[in-house]
Amino acid sequence: MERVNRVALIGTGAVGSSYAFALLNQGVADELVMIDLNKEKSEGDAMDLNHGLAFAPANKKIWFGDYKDCAYADIVVITAGANQKPGETRLDLLEKNTAIFHSIVNNVMESGFDGIFIVATNPVDILTYMTRTFSGLPANRVIGSGTILDTARLRFQLSEYFNIDTRNVHAYIIGEHGDSELPVWSHANVAGRSVFDRIQDHPDLYDIQDLDTIFAQVRDAAYHIIERKGATHYGIAMGLVRLTKAILHNENAVLTISGYVDGQYGVDDLYIGVPAIVNRQGVMEIIELNLDSEEKLKFEKSVSVLKETMKPLKESSMYKDSEISRK
């Protein structure tokens, strides 16, 4: 008999409830337990989703629960915490969300959880690092959504520009999930033809300068959406389901997640957006791209933004106590 797999979702706000809906519609997990500080909302969501089960691709179990339900979870997905208000950057959320994560991750670990964490809350790279610190789990079993959404946004923008199906566009955004991220144009291709060649093939239609505009649209997408509707949630929810599926179905899928980099790209001890092979073990391997000199400089800048932002956090008692208790 096949083993039942369980996802525990912590945070059933805009991102969390969209994730639950997408997970159910794609039939990815057998069981989904939903946990939130706002119990009424979480309970209401579980009831509402159960009423959709008759229309789902397979019968699933969904309930509103608490931290003890994490004990048998294969994956704990965290989407809890504050989101950006118009004009705020992701890094502005750091202090508030680190304190929230300290309590959440400790509660999860007290349940006896021994699976894989997926983190989406912002600033995602740093909170993924803190989840690893607070949990003491091996780095390959703590994964951030990283630039999975930014990469999807880039593929969408390029597909619109070249008028080619998104699934035939291969391009990555790496670095911080935030303002210092960068596109890896040196490895971007459309159906196997580099974006530069594709532009040269049709000088009447395309212009290399347009790539800057395309990247700006990707980098600033969250600001534009938040200005209009207060939050972004469908894109990330589908990205998180993609990541969940890669793990539960042992896919060896290459996704741009926030992975633990320790030596690769000449960087030590950091979570940052990079392409990685993901399967049932979590992150199997960080893929080290041959960046060109301009990309290398931009990646280094992104690394230093994250490292500088983390400095005060690493001096906090929350961080130091967790480090000591792990030893």
Ligand X SMILES: NC(=O)C1=CN([C@@H]2O[C@H](COP(=O)(O)OP(=O)(O)OC[C@H]3O[C@@H](n4cnc5c(N)ncnc54)[C@H](O)[C@@H]3O)[C@@H](O)[C@H]2O)C=CC1
* Contact yes or no for 81/100 (Cβ under 8 A): yes
* CA–CA separation, 113 and 99 (whole Å): 20
Closest contact distance (angstroms) between CB of 125 and ligand X is 9
Closest contact distance (angstroms) between CB of 124 and ligand CC(=O)C(=O)O is 7
Handedness of CA 236, 222, 261, 195 (dihedral sign): positive
Closest contact distance (angstroms) between CB of 301 and ligand X is 20
Q: Is 224 a catalytic residue?
A: no
Which residue, 16 or 115, has its beta carbon nearer to ligand X?
16
Which residue, 40 or 315, has its beta carbon nearer to ligand X?
40
* CA–CA separation, 253 and 151 (whole Å): 14
Residue numbers of the site for ligand X (CB under 6 A)?
Answer: 10-16, 36-38, 41, 79-84, 93, 97, 100, 103-104, 120-122, 124, 145, 149, 177, 231-233, 236
Site string for ligand CC(=O)C(=O)O, 221-260 (x = CB under 6 A): -x---------x---x------------------------
Helix-, strand-, coil-residue percentages of the chain, each rounded to 5: 50, 20, 30
How many other CB atoms are found less than 10 A from the CB of residue 216? 11
Q: 11 is written with which tokens?
A: 């945070």
The residue among 135, 130, 148 whose CA lies nearest residue 271 is 130
The SS3 of residue 258 is: strand
Which residue, 12 or 244, has its beta carbon nearer to ligand X?
12
Q: What is the DSSP letter of 57?
A: S
Closest contact distance (angstroms) between CB of 149 and ligand CC(=O)C(=O)O is 5
Which residue, 180 or 194, has its beta carbon nearer to ligand X?
180
Q: With CB cut-offs between 5 and 8 Å by kind, which of ligand X, ligand CC(=O)C(=O)O, none does residue 174 bind?
A: none
Is 152 within any annotated ligand binding site?
Answer: yes
Of the residues 177, 187, 224, 233, only one is catalytic, namely 177
Which single residue is written with the structure tokens 């949990």?
Answer: 135
Q: With CB cut-offs between 5 and 8 Å by kind, which of ligand CC(=O)C(=O)O, ligand X, none does residue 91 bind?
A: none
* CA–CA separation, 152 and 260 (whole Å): 21
Closest contact distance (angstroms) between CB of 90 and ligand X is 6
* CA–CA separation, 155 and 132 (whole Å): 30
Which residue, 38 or 250, has its beta carbon nearer to ligand X?
38
Question: 173 — phi, psi (to 5°)?
Answer: -105, 135
Can you list the positions of beta strands (E) in 16-150?
31-35, 61-64, 75-78, 116-119, 142-144
Q: With CB cut-offs between 5 and 8 Å by kind, which of ligand CC(=O)C(=O)O, ligand X, none does residue 257 bind?
A: none
Q: 266 is written with which tokens?
A: 């000449």
Q: Which of 77, 126, 149, 158 forms a contact with ligand CC(=O)C(=O)O (CB under 6 A)?
A: 149
Query: Catalytic site residues?
Result: 177
Residue stretches of the annotated binding site for NAD(+)? 11-16, 36, 41, 67, 81-82, 97, 103, 120-122, 145
Residue stretches of the annotated binding site for beta-D-fructose 1,6-bisphosphate? 155, 170
